[in-house]
Structure 1
């Protein structure tokens, strides 16, 4: 046995494969049979999917695994990292990593990786699709025609896109992809990102807003593209929602808890925002019924990331990262959370 940052781990003989578990929640449908992961890791690892019901997650520390590939519906808390005797690394099969206690992992010397460089195109496309469906009233028009109507006035009063301002909150990979798409539609694009490089707006032909409240007050569309942290949880609370421009559209394809869902109902009644497109919701999959059926809300089931190609890319990158770690190679298929 060897000790690593206060944690006792068993060293495996070189001819014994490492144990790898793919953790998923019942009904989520990500892990499946882990065939793709087995194919990539090959004889280096004994790979098995593990579907964990909510009532059993307090015992995850009992799982014997050298490496964990973790899907976003299962969380690893401080107890897992404090009590696990075997875990050497965690790879989040996702862009986000708020379902992992990063500080607890760091305290035990267990690296945590995520895969931020997959599915950018799909999430950006979905963001634009949610907005366009809301602005062009596609749901209402569909229902109108199904009810035997044929009146163009059922579309309401949509605006000309080239006369609108699109506010991007968070100009990372996905935020930038959304900004470029919005530019192609003719929007004036403004972004808020206090962590992005000064002057990047000049290179990209965008406008920077140094104050989030200012962006909210001037944008006809606001889309969220930031990770969920203690700083960003309920980034849009009741006060911030009230500062939005009346009649604006709000789109969230990042993390549900960026928006205080308890404050959103009243905000919609005040038309700040007037319409909302959500691919993620705080507390999902337990989405409030009022939001599911709200006439001014368009909600999709955390599907923005998905295409056949993006899911394959995600599973491949996560598994390749584990293979690289087992081989003692630099991890290039995923990014360590620091």
Structure 2
């Protein structure tokens, strides 16, 4: 078994520890992998920045491709199947991470989000997880996903209704083909449909929004607020657009430590199944060994009389330094000298992303003073819905 040659993206956590028992692991920068580098590999492990297709793999020994991500639009699935190459992804591995990002964006940019309407485009693993959390938190939700039915998602409606919501969250995969392409789904006419004061966020795929059209709209619609985690194109995103949006992050909404480790474990399980072996890694064991798995939630504090919603926002933002992500992204990309340096800076932000833990890594101690018994009960319920548990 150790004769297997495994080439992997260097940003996959625990890749040598988890896959080392299955073969010889070589790690490389994912965006710049070449056909020559993977020609002698039996197994290829990637993330979303590597295009896996005929150009990369023709003539290689690769028989298994695993992407430690939810999305698969960077894999030429049809060609891989034609070649008899097994392909596996990690559906749902970082869904909670993206939900954490989305709620943090709302908490930061729309503090009264629980009283607003939220529209979700794309109800796959991420969008559906967000839908369920929002409903449990008492939020009115509308969803658009042409691949699903009202029996699967009761909140399904038209795209026009979703675009009329106070907050619009994009979690759609990138699809170029009929019958339901998502490429430039939000083009100039649809962007112009956004209601007065809308918060638009994209944490799916950059090209679901026509980024040049978005620039045009933002130049005249100062009432709109935009948060982008994904861009068109990456890594050479448009610097003018970067400066127009309220929040800019380098495709890291799903980059929680938990999500990345989860992706590694899921792909390891898929490879073991492909090889007829028992799984070699367990997510709970890998995560629980980390000291950051049992953190006490640090309340930042409000002035007396702050409503219970303000404390909920405080708790969400205490788990995730979204402002720091935005600041590092802007500083690195705006200071980069030339396109090559900018592309490198984008990838370096991802490679050296700070360890971010999801909601269920945080433990609750005493609730803030100044809240009534009813407010404390509501806050306890909301935080439990997010996944936070009581301090033991």
Q: For the superposition of Structure 1 and Structure 2, which TM-score range results when normalised by the shorter chain? A: 0.7 to 0.9
Equivalence for 1:322: 271
Is residue 249 of structure 2 the alignment partner of residue 300 of structure 1? yes
Aligned-pair Cα RMSD in Å: 2.7
1:34-183 aligned at under 5 Å gives the runs 36-51=14-29, 54=32, 57=34, 59-60=35-36, 63-81=39-57, 83-136=58-111, 160-183=112-135
TM-score by length of 1: 0.74
SS of 2:97's equivalent in the other structure is: helix
Unaligned runs of 5+ residues in structure 2 are: 283-392
Q: Distance in 2 between matches of 1:105 and 1:95?
A: 18
Report how far residue 97 of structure 1 moved. Answer: 1.4
TM-score by length of 2: 0.64
Cα 1:64–1:236 shift into 2, 3 Å: same
Unaligned runs of 5+ residues in structure 1 are: 1-14, 25-29, 137-159, 334-338
Report how far residue 326 of structure 1 moved. Answer: 2.4
Name the one with the larger helix percent. 2
Q: Distance in 2 between matches of 1:199 and 1:44?
A: 43
Contact 1:94 1:115 in 2 (8 A): yes
SS of 1:106's equivalent in the other structure is: helix
Report how far residue 66 of structure 1 moved. Answer: 0.8
Q: Deviations over 1:228-252 (max 9, x none)?
A: 1111111111121112223211111
Equivalence for 2:7: 21
Q: Deviations over 1:164-218 (max 9, x none)?
A: 211111112211221233334543111111222332344xxxx320x212321x2
Equivalence for 1:222: 168
Q: Distance in 2 between matches of 1:265 and 1:188?
A: 29
Report how far residue 72 of structure 1 moved. Answer: 1.7
The aligned length equals 278
Contact 1:130 1:277 in 2 (8 A): yes
Report how far residue 272 of structure 1 moved. Answer: 8.6
Larger relative contact order, structure 1 or 2 (CA cutoff 8 Å, min sep 6): 1
